[in-house]
Amino acid sequence: MPGYLTGFNCLSCPAEFPADYGGYVCGKCGSNLDALYDYRSASREFSVKALKENPVLDIWRYSALYPLKGLDTIPGLEMPLSPLYRAPFLEEKTGSSVVYLKDDTRQPSGSFKDRAGAVVMAAALEKGVKVTSCASTGNAGSSWACMGASCGVSVVVYIPESAPPAKTAQLKVYGARIVSVKGNYDEAYELCLEESRRRGYYIRSTGYNPLTREGKKSVSFEIWEQLGYRAPASVFVPAGDGNILSGVWKGFTDLVKLGLIDRPPLLYAVQSSGSDAICRMVRKAGAPGQAVEPVRVSSSTLADSISVDLPRDGKAAAAAVLESGGDALAIDDGEILESMRETASRSGIFTEPSGAASVAGFIRASSEQNVPSPAVCLLTGSGLKDTASVLKAL
């Protein structure tokens, strides 16, 4: 099943680029790109009927809308649809009618990032790439190292030296070359770009490589199928760079373009109040269609995966929040840790603090506004990735 990629457009200027474009960002203005598809052709394979008849229950069932020429290069590790569980404890607590938890803690490397890693690695192999790099707070890198190990591709990962030990252990055991940066994620990000350009590495970094969003959007297709081919009314997404959020939006807007849903859900970006750049961008822009300006903060949060000064996909994420009619919420670390504890003890799903931010955001939003039901909270990383933060919550 081929993908129907037709090219890329710039998210800031009118420039468009062909499907075989060799760059990552807009060649005219340097902004992020978005992948374009031939939806009419894709709809022959991406329809309710075709999906119901397809016995393959993994992310590759959506490959008509991936930036791939075929499925010859996909990593061998299984990427099954992740579970969507009803969460009665959240329904009782908030008085909401229907709430679900989407459990992405059990992906091959233990985080949502594998959705991007699997698709981008398949695309990199189509290009014949041998050495690749990635800047990471921890999960994107460990996912990329995991995918690289499964495909025999060398991976170089740039991470802050403060990254939790479990994530560093993953990088080591998968055999990645680790560049441990004396600085934060943003400094690791800049160093990764600079060295990778100089050395000719293929760069996976979030919010730079436009294909990560294309992998992450599979979560929206899954939720739509798991709800009986219906979109939920609202989705809560932990946000650092904002790329998971822009991927969720891409997935639902793809479904609108295919005529499979009428409208996308309300999207809620959930951040730590110690790392709230996207919340500030949303407030500053104020309304859908208004220009979204970048905001840089000085981040400090226990939720290490969403600790970001300058969100690299912030523009697309903030625009998606506004266009969807949702909101951006900044939550204190104490509330995030309490949501992590409560989610684990009342649902059996152990997610890291960043993953539990969605639950904390849902609880907060439900106490302040009418959150349309059914709602879905994304649990984006395993709790075993950062046990030191867990122990602080107990």
Ligand X SMILES: Cc1ncc(COP(=O)(O)O)c(C=O)c1O
- Closer residue to ligand X, CB minimum distance, 64 or 101: 101
Decide if 220 contacts 213 (C-beta within 8 A): no
Strands 99-103 and 84-86, by their bridges, are antiparallel
Site string for ligand X, 102-121 (x = CB under 6 A): ---------x-x--------
**Binding piece for ligand X, criterion CB under 6 A, among 77-85, 236-244, 293-301, 330-338:** 236-244
Contact segment (CB under 6 A) with ligand X among 74-82, 119-127, 195-203, 235-243 equals 235-243
Helix (H) or strand (E) holding 86: strand 84-86
Candidate residues 13, 56, 71, 384; the one interacting with Zn ion per rule CB under 5 A: 13
The two three-digit tokens of residue 189, written as one number: 């990000």
Query: Which one of 3-11, 115-123, 335-343, 375-383 is the stretch in contact with Zn ion (CB under 5 A)?
Result: 3-11
Q: Binder to ligand X among 132, 133, 205, 206 (CB under 6 A)?
A: 206
Kindly list the strands in the beta sheet with 375-379, ordered across the sheet, starting from the edge strand earlier in the chain: 84-86, 99-103, 375-379, 234-238, 266-272, 327-331
Q: CB of residue 240 vs ligand X: minimum separation in angstroms?
A: 3
Determine if 374 is a binding residue for ligand X (CB under 6 A): no
161 φ/ψ angles, rounded to the nearest 5 degrees:
-65, -15
Cβ-proximal residue to ligand X, closest one: 381
Preceding amide of 374 cis, omega within 30: yes
Q: Which is nearer to ligand X, 144 or 224 (CB)?
A: 144
Burial label for 167, CB within 10 Å (0-12, 13-18, 19+), is buried
Is 169 a binder of Zn ion (CB under 5 A)?
Answer: no
User: Of 34 and 309, which has the nearer Cβ to Zn ion?
Assistant: 34
Asked whether position 140 contacts ligand X by CB under 6 A, the answer is: yes
Nearest to 242 by CA among 135, 363, 328: 328
Select the binding partner of residue 31 from Zn ion, ligand X, none (C-beta < 5 to 8 A, by kind): Zn ion
19 to 38, contacts with Zn ion by CB under 5 A?
Answer: 26, 28-29, 31
Beta strands in 229-297 (DSSP E): 234-238, 266-272
Secondary structure (DSSP) of 285-342: H-STTSPPPP-------S-GGG--SS-TTHHHHHHHHHHHT-EEEEE-HHHHHHHHHH
Instruction: List residues binding Zn ion (CB under 5 A).
Output: 10, 12-13, 15, 26, 28-29, 31
Instruction: List residues binding ligand X (CB under 6 A).
Output: 111, 113, 137, 139-140, 206, 238-245, 305-306, 352, 354-355, 380-381
